[in-house]
Amino acid sequence: MKRLLGGLLESIHLIAIAVLFGAAALLTRITGPDLLSLDVGVSEETAGALFDGLSKVVGEPGRLIAIAGLIAAILAPYVRNDPRKFAAWGRIVFCAGALVVLLYGWSDSGVAAWGGHIGVADADVERDATMVEALKIRADQSLTPWNALLFMTGANLVFAAFQLFSGGEEKAAKKAKKA
């Protein structure tokens, strides 16, 4: 029963973090400075609408997903009696960091404040920047919430891979010792 419950909690944690990682990676890619220079068939309006929609979807549901992932990250190693507590605590810290980013980096209306109006020189006239231009300018100048979320969730997934795929020799040695 412990293994079943531990596996369920581990699955909840990994799925939650993977969903947040995917959303943060897509937001980072949309605001990358070279997106529109590539011929990928994405117009500036489409990229802006995609960014706006995705950032609004990540807001409140993302917080709930991060809370579920954090609870699962805290409980899973103790339910399984996992000997690798260092990796488990690392995952808890990065999951809590992702939750902090979602609480303070996202408002209820997404991250639209990051796309504010910035003047852009267009020939000899200064005009208001489009959403995508403003996001690119700000993303080049500072750390964005989606970049921070990408780092937190990526590091969490690295710790998860380490925790799940290491320690095979220890288990084999314990089984051989008991036999």
Name the pLDDT band for 11 (thresholds 50, 70, 90): confident
Kind and range of the H or E element at 127? strand 125-128
- Does residue 113 have a pLDDT over 90? no
- Give yes or no for residue 14 having a pLDDT over 60: yes
By residue count, the chain amounts to 179
pLDDT of residue 171: 58
Question: What's the pLDDT score for residue 96?
Answer: 92
- Answer yes or no: is pLDDT of 123 > 50: no
For residue 142, CA distances in Å to 31, 67, 138 come to 12, 27, 6
Q: Is 82 exposed, middle or buried (0-12, 13-18, 19+ CB in 10 A)?
A: middle
Task: Write down the pLDDT at residue 179.
Answer: 62
Query: Please, are residues 101 and 156 in contact by the beta-carbon 8 Å criterion?
Result: no
Count of CA atoms in the C-beta half-sphere (13 A) of 117 = 3
151 band by pLDDT with thresholds 50, 70 and 90:
very high
Taking every pair of Cα atoms in the chain, the longest distance, rounded to a whole number of angstroms, is: 82
Please indicate whether residue 140 or residue 109 has the higher confidence score (pLDDT): 140
Instruction: Give residue 76's pLDDT band: very low, low, confident or very high (50, 70, 90).
Output: confident
Higher pLDDT, 99 or 169: 99
Helix (H), strand (E), coil (C) string for 93-110: HHHHHHHHHHHHHCECCE
| Number of structural domains found in the chain | 1
User: Does 75 have pLDDT greater than 70?
Assistant: yes
Distance between CA atoms of residues 59 and 156, nearest Å? 20
Note the pLDDT of residue 137. Answer: 67
Q: Give dist(CA 129, CA 107) in Å, integer.
A: 22
Helix H or strand E encompassing 119: strand 119-122
> How buried is residue 168: exposed, middle or buried, by Cβ count under 10 Å (0-12/13-18/19+)?
exposed
Compute the average pLDDT of residues 173-179.
65
| Gap between the Cα atoms of 143 and 101, Å rounded | 11
Residue 164 domain boundaries: 2-178
